[in-house]
């Protein structure tokens, strides 16, 4: 099956995961979400939006994607040494990523990054704010030993139907309320969540 991915999606993936390699897609199929222990159950659920994503969306799986992104499965903690090093510049760790797509296209990324210090999260968000084409919702989930930053991103060049937009907004809102996360901002579309 031939698939395609826009340069913008590659850029968004790179921006969200701070230095991640570009990717090429060759397959799209539904998979069961991986065990993403030691994440708390509510956080792990946030990365499994399969049941609430728009029709046709599924977790993407492809050995090359997994390798390039430093994933063993989807979703999973990112294991790429360069990614981990890049996160360390901001004090971030434990980056986790879920990649959803439809018809061979990346449509939705859910990226989580743990920050033990609030200052690191703030510096990371300031660096992201300088990137004008990013279309994402940023949420924070305080935990006992720090804060999880959750970024949900869409492709700025892809047209999303009203139904897709509504399903994505609803899923993010429900999941954020379910885990007690606060929405910092949303630039997914012209309006907010």
* Tens-place pLDDT, residues 113-161: 999 999 999 999 888 878 878 899 999 999 888 999 999 999 898 999 9
Ramachandran category for residue 18: left, alpha or beta (phi over 0 → left; psi -120 to 50 → alpha)? left
Residue 2 lies in a domain: no
Residue 193 lies in a domain: no
Residue 1 lies in a domain: no
Residue 192 lies in a domain: no
Nearest Cα to Cα of residue 152 among 190, 118, 187, 110: 110
Residue 130 lies in a domain: yes
Nearest Cα to Cα of residue 179 among 147, 136, 154: 147
pLDDT at res. 112: 92
For residue 36, the Cα-to-chain-centroid distance in whole angstroms is 14
Cα-atom radius of gyration of the chain, to the nearest Å? 15
User: Residue 170: is its pLDDT beyond 70?
Assistant: yes
Q: In this structure, what are the phi and psi dihedrals at residue 159, rounded to the nearest 5 degrees?
A: -85, 130
* Tens-place pLDDT, residues 100-119: 888 777 889 899 999 999 99
Nearest Cα to Cα of residue 148 among 54, 61, 75, 39: 39
Residue 177 lies in a domain: yes
pLDDT at res. 69: 66
Q: How many CB atoms lie within 10 A of CB 67?
A: 14
Residue 153 lies in a domain: yes
CB 152 within 8 A of CB 172: yes
Q: How many CB atoms lie within 10 A of CB 21?
A: 16
* Tens-place pLDDT, residues 14-61: 334 333 222 222 222 233 334 444 566 666 777 776 667 788 898 887
pLDDT at res. 68: 67
- Which structural domain range is residue 129 located in? 7-186
pTM of the predicted model as reported, rounded to 2 decimal places: 0.75
pLDDT at res. 34: 40
Domain count, the chain: 1
Q: How many CB atoms lie within 10 A of CB 84?
A: 18
Residue 93 lies in a domain: yes
**Banded pLDDT at 163 (limits 50, 70, 90):** very high
Percent with pLDDT over 70 in the chain: 69
């Amino acid at each position: 099956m031939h698939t395609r991915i826009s340069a913008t999606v590659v850029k968004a993936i790179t921006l969200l995961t701070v230095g991640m390699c570009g990717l090429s897609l060759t397959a799209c199929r539904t998979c069961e979400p991986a065990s993403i222990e030691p994440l708390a159950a509510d956080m792990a659920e946030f990365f499994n939006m399969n049941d609430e994503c728009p029709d046709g969306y599924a977790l993407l799986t492809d050995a090359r994607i997994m390798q390039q992104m430093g994933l063993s499965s989807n979703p999973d903690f990112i294991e790429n040494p360069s990614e981990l090093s890049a996160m360390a510049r901001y004090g971030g760790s434990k980056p986790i990523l879920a990649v959803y797509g439809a018809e061979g296209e990346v449509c939705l990324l859910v990226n989580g990054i743990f920050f033990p210090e609030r200052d690191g999260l703030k510096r990371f968000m300031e660096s992201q704010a300088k990137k004008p084409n990013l279309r994402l919702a940023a949420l924070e989930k305080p935990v006992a030993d720090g804060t999880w930053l959750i970024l949900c991103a869409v492709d700025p060049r892809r047209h999303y139907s009203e139904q897709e937009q509504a399903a994505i907004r609803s899923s993010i809102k429900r999941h954020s309320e379910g885990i007690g996360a606060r929405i910092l901002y949303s630039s997914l579309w012209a309006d907010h969540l």
